[in-house]
Amino acid sequence: MRSLLTLVVITLSFFVSHFAAATGRDAIETELEFREFPNNLRQSIQKHFPTPPNFRSKAELDNYAMRKGISFEEAIFELQLLARLSLDLSSKNADRYTIAKQLIDQLALLDDSQFGRSYAQMLNGRYNGKGKQDFKSAIALYQKALNTLSQSDGPKEQTLRFTLHIDLGMLHMMLRENEPVLEHLQQAKAIAIETTSPYMIAHAESILGKYYYKREQYGKSLSHYSEAIKHSESNKTPSQDAHIKLQLARVYRDLKSWDDALRYANSASDQFQRLGNEYYVSNCMTVIAMIYAEQGQWYKAIDYHLNAQQIDVKLGNYIAQALTLHNLGEAYFHIGDNQISILHLLGASDIFIARNSNHYLVYNHLLLAEVNSSISDWGAALKYANSAAKIAEKMKLNNELIEALTFSSTASKHLGKFDQAYQDILKVLNLSAKDGSKVDDEEQTKTQFQLQKAKLDLNQKYIDLEQKEALLSINRLMLIICLLAFALTATLALYLWRIKNKLREKCINLEQSSGLDSLTQTANHSAFVRDFINTPNTFKTLALVSLTDQLNSDLAQGYECNSKMNKQQLRSLSECLSCQTYIIRPGLFLLSFDIKISPDTLLNNIRGSLIDNFGNTRLHMGLLSLPLLADTALKLSAEQHFGTLQMMLSAAMTLGHQQDYYVTLKPLNFASSGIFEPPLYLNIEKSIIRGIIKIETNGVKGDIVWPRWKSHQNVDLTAELS
């Protein structure tokens, strides 16, 4: 029987494992995991591929997949993901580009399907873009991958198509090619909507927000970020949420909303730190530095740029290091340290040239031209201005070309190269033709305005009259509006005043009713606590009195009849004894006196007051003379006094019903307030045994049975104290 069960379990395990392998990874969820938790995905794949694989044929991979209990298709997909992860910023492996290239070459050999060829082309494009900074060839390979991919609407194809469009949009954005950027990003958004994946929709919206930010269309940018936030689930996608906050920080920085910019940048930095994503922590440091730079706080900016530089050096991120060197060069230039500025900018240039990053180099050389111009090093200024002009002309960056030619013309003039300066100025004028036409339009507008003004001067009297009439009409309208506003304000103020009075009256009634017993409408325990807090020095004697035979009279004769009886008894006690009375519950009264009274006298007086007021009952009383402690600096709460009274009354009730009984206590002069701390009954009983508290009663002390809480009912205090 046991062998049969074992066989069944093995068979089921076999089918389950094969079913799991056939099912494979969900493409959309895997894309989310890749972007949000790349290290978790890497660890998951490394269970099947613990070391970089080296497969030379499909058969070799198929045999390996069978041994690992996964399908051939799943193995291919995991190799594709592993190659992509090797090129990701989350990879800390120094040989990541070498490993990625080996995996890409294997995939080209192992998978000749349309999807496989498309994926391999994308990986090659990503390799060229990230490893070689060759964005033109990266775009060509991405476009080829897009054309190779089948038009199937399967999840894997849709996800890959989405990724291709997003990455193409980002590549074109880096090269300042705006039309293809928008085309690819809109297609990515359409695919995301088809998949109904909130994550992909949010990602597409956030990249569109970045595009419009780069175009300085901040309104559109913010609207797309709002849509991204609406679809983003920050608790499930913390990395996406942090990226959106980082971009919002950049937008608010450019809008000069410094507080919002710093709030978003710091929040993004905290999230990236929790995620262990140091690359984007560096980005956050750079954004914060630029926020301070925009405000002219250059020393703060330098501090944050240096923090970013430390992270970039640690990660071996050369492009990020170069950008930080450029930013530091700008900051040092603005604080007047030109030589240090030039050193940083030259360091940035070396990296940009080595990495073929002309889209960054153009700005670096423009700044070098500006810094060298400021120190009158016209030869260096001309060199870097000409270099920036060549790159800007090649990349069709008109504004940057104008700036470079301006620096070039100035440097040429100082070097005596007047022909070159003249040619540069002509180029600037040609490039500024559109701006010139705008100037002409402005001049024409000014002329028309002057003609209109002259016309108005000829009819000045009529205009003055119309203006006065219009002003009078406006004044009348304003007066009417002010009167209406005043009337409405007065009405509203009166209405609010009435509401305030009603609410005040209601609060007073509630406060008063909270201190009244619900049945007898006389002062209750809450009223005692309130009075004790407000006027503690007026309490000299407290007595908790039990009309023991009447404790259940509310059940025996009904609450209405019993309430009338208790009210009459309380009134009699108050009038006869000149004390403040409180009802705790039917048949249980608390009396407070502003003088000290001996317990025997008080018990007799209570008996006398109740003779003609339903006094046919035994009385038991717990009594306290205040203050309880000799050190008046030590204060006890109303609750501590009441709890002590309860214990004294409970003790008095254990003496029997032969007569009226009372029990009171008196701590010794050196007693501390700890006696009356919780657990109250236990601490008081211990103090009685130790002799710190003296007990007085009109009964036999030895007959007292002290009440105990359940927590110490079985505690032998005598043994404990011995």
Buried b vs exposed e over 245-266: b needs ≥16 C-beta within 10 Å? bbbbbbbbbeeeeeeebbebbe
pLDDT value for 434: 53
Nearest 5 degrees, angle CA 49-CA 52-CA 56?
95
The pLDDT tens digits of the residues spanning 470-515 come to: 778 888 888 899 989 989 989 999 898 988 888 888 877 777 666 6
Do both 586 and 717 map to the same domain?
A: yes
**Are β-strands 580-585 and 541-547 bridged in parallel, bridged antiparallel, or unpaired?**
unpaired
Do both 43 and 154 map to the same domain?
A: yes
- Residue 10 pLDDT greater than 60, yes or no: no
pLDDT value for 506: 81
The pLDDT tens digits of the residues spanning 319-374 come to: 889 999 999 999 999 999 999 999 999 999 998 888 888 888 898 999 898 899 88
Quick check: is 562 in a domain?
yes
pLDDT value for 51: 87
Please identify, among 261, 283, 300, the residue that sits at the C-terminal boundary of a domain.
Answer: 261
| Residue 405's pLDDT band (cuts 50, 70, 90) | confident
CATH number of the domain bearing residue 688:
3.30.70.270
Residues 199-202: contacts with CB under 8 Å, at least 24 apart: 199/28, 199/31, 199/32, 199/35, 199/231, 199/232, 199/233, 199/237, 199/240, 200/28, 200/31, 200/159, 200/162, 201/227, 201/231, 202/227, 202/228, 202/229, 202/230, 202/231, 202/232, 202/237, 202/240, 202/244
Do both 612 and 690 map to the same domain?
A: yes
Do both 126 and 239 map to the same domain?
A: yes
Contact residues for 330 (Cβ-Cβ < 8 A; gap 6+)? 293, 341, 367
- Residue 1 pLDDT greater than 80, yes or no: no
**Are β-strands 661-667 and 541-547 bridged in parallel, bridged antiparallel, or unpaired?**
unpaired
User: What is the percent of the chain with per-residue pLDDT over 90, rounded to a whole number?
Assistant: 38
**How many structural domains compose the chain?**
3
pLDDT value for 257: 87
Complete DSSP assignment for 375-444: TT-HHHHHHHHHHHHHHHHHHT-HHHHHHHHHHHHHHHHHTT-HHHHHHHHHHHHHHTHHHHHHHHHHHH
Return phi, psi of residue 217, to 5°: -100, 80
- Residue 445 pLDDT greater than 60, yes or no: no
- Determine the 3-state secondary structure of 693 from DSSP: strand
The pLDDT tens digits of the residues spanning 647-673 come to: 999 999 999 999 999 999 999 988 888
Asked if 695 contacts 674 with a C-beta cutoff of 8 angstroms, the reply is no
The pLDDT tens digits of the residues spanning 590-607 come to: 999 999 999 999 999 999
| Residue 435's pLDDT band (cuts 50, 70, 90) | low
Do both 28 and 176 map to the same domain?
A: yes
- Between 356 and 207, the more confident residue is 207
Buried b vs exposed e over 537-565: b needs ≥16 C-beta within 10 Å? eebebbbbbbbbebbebbeeeeeeebbeb
Number of other CB atoms surrounding residue 450 within 10 Å: 10
Structure tokens belonging to residue 216: 């300085």
pLDDT value for 6: 39
Please identify, among 434, 468, 501, the residue that sits at the C-terminal boundary of a domain.
Answer: 434
- Residue 388 pLDDT greater than 60, yes or no: yes
Asked if 246 contacts 283 with a C-beta cutoff of 8 angstroms, the reply is yes
pLDDT value for 453: 33
pLDDT value for 573: 92
pLDDT value for 719: 59
- Determine the 3-state secondary structure of 662 from DSSP: strand
The pLDDT tens digits of the residues spanning 89-142 come to: 778 777 888 888 999 898 888 888 999 999 999 999 998 988 777 888 999 999
What Rg do the C-alpha atoms of the chain give, in angstroms? Answer: 44
Quick check: is 98 in a domain?
yes
Do both 618 and 712 map to the same domain?
A: yes
Please tell me the distance from the alpha carbon of residue 137 to that of residue 128, in angstroms, as a whole number: 7
Average pLDDT estimate for 555-567 = 89
pLDDT value for 217: 85
pLDDT value for 163: 93
- Residue 19 pLDDT greater than 80, yes or no: no
Do both 542 and 653 map to the same domain?
A: yes
The pLDDT tens digits of the residues spanning 289-308 come to: 999 999 999 999 999 999 99
Q: How far is CA 155 from the centre of its chain?
A: 33
- Cis bond upstream, residue 53 (ω within 30): no
- pTM for the complete prediction? 0.54
Please tell me the distance from the alpha carbon of residue 403 to that of residue 406, in angstroms, as a whole number: 5
- Residue 197 pLDDT greater than 60, yes or no: yes
Average pLDDT estimate for 533-552 = 91
Quick check: is 444 in a domain?
no
Number of other CB atoms surrounding residue 45 within 10 Å: 17
- To 10 degrees, what angle do helices 27-36 and 38-46 make? 120
- In the numeric block, the tokens 């003004």 are attached to 453
Q: Which domain holds residue 67?
A: 19-261
Quick check: is 672 in a domain?
yes
pLDDT value for 707: 87
Distinct helix (H) and strand (E) counts, the chain: 31, 6
pLDDT value for 205: 93
Quick check: is 243 in a domain?
yes
Largest CA distance in the chain: 130
pLDDT value for 462: 47
Mean pLDDT, the chain, integer: 84
Quick check: is 282 in a domain?
no
Asked if 324 contacts 309 with a C-beta cutoff of 8 angstroms, the reply is yes
- In the numeric block, the tokens 């009983």 are attached to 685
- To 10 degrees, what angle do helices 155-174 and 27-36 make? 40
Asked if 651 contacts 706 with a C-beta cutoff of 8 angstroms, the reply is yes
pLDDT value for 544: 95
108 CB burial (10 A radius; 0-12, 13-18, 19+): middle
Quick check: is 467 in a domain?
no
CATH number of the domain bearing residue 372:
1.25.40.10
Contact residues for 496 (Cβ-Cβ < 8 A; gap 6+)? none
The pLDDT tens digits of the residues spanning 453-472 come to: 333 334 334 435 655 777 78
User: Residue 457 is inside which H or E element, if any?
Assistant: helix 433-458
Quick check: is 691 in a domain?
yes
Do both 93 and 241 map to the same domain?
A: yes
pLDDT value for 112: 87
- Residue 552 pLDDT greater than 60, yes or no: yes
Structure tokens belonging to residue 93: 């492996």
Do both 256 and 350 map to the same domain?
A: no
pLDDT value for 718: 63
Do both 587 and 672 map to the same domain?
A: yes
| Residue 713's pLDDT band (cuts 50, 70, 90) | low
Do both 256 and 333 map to the same domain?
A: no
CA-CA distances (angstroms) from residue 31 to 156, 218, 502? 10, 29, 61
- Residue 401 pLDDT greater than 60, yes or no: yes
Do both 145 and 221 map to the same domain?
A: yes
Q: How far apart are the first and last CA of the chain?
A: 67
Nearest 5 degrees, angle CA 69-CA 73-CA 76?
95
pLDDT value for 431: 78
| Residue 442's pLDDT band (cuts 50, 70, 90) | very low
Please identify, among 201, 235, 261, the residue that sits at the C-terminal boundary of a domain.
Answer: 261
